[in-house]
Amino acid sequence: MAQEAPKRKLSVLKRARQAEVRNIRNKAVRSRLKTFAKNVAEATESKDREKVEQALKVAVKAYSTAASKGVVHRNTASRSISRLSRLADKVLKAEAA
């Protein structure tokens, strides 16, 4: 006697759909975070104070938001913000001196 395939629960199918949508959205957010980090690095190379400040402000806000939404772990976001801030401070402090 052949066994019938077990029925899939609707809640399982819905969870799978939700996970797929969230995965796509989170991937886009993480990609934007990398872009913002790259913008800060490029701004520090140009040594333009205003560009550095603006890029850092945008990046910090994006990382904080991503951490609060659960896209990245809060410690990861904090570490990235710290690294970007240190990078930006090199230019900002060098210009002040």
pTM over 0.85: no
CA pair distance 79, 85, nearest whole angstrom: 10
CA pair distance 29, 75, nearest whole angstrom: 17
**What type of residue sits at position 50?**
E
Per-residue pLDDT band for 2 (boundaries 50, 70, 90) equals low
44-74 residue pLDDT tens: 999 899 999 999 999 999 999 999 999 999 9
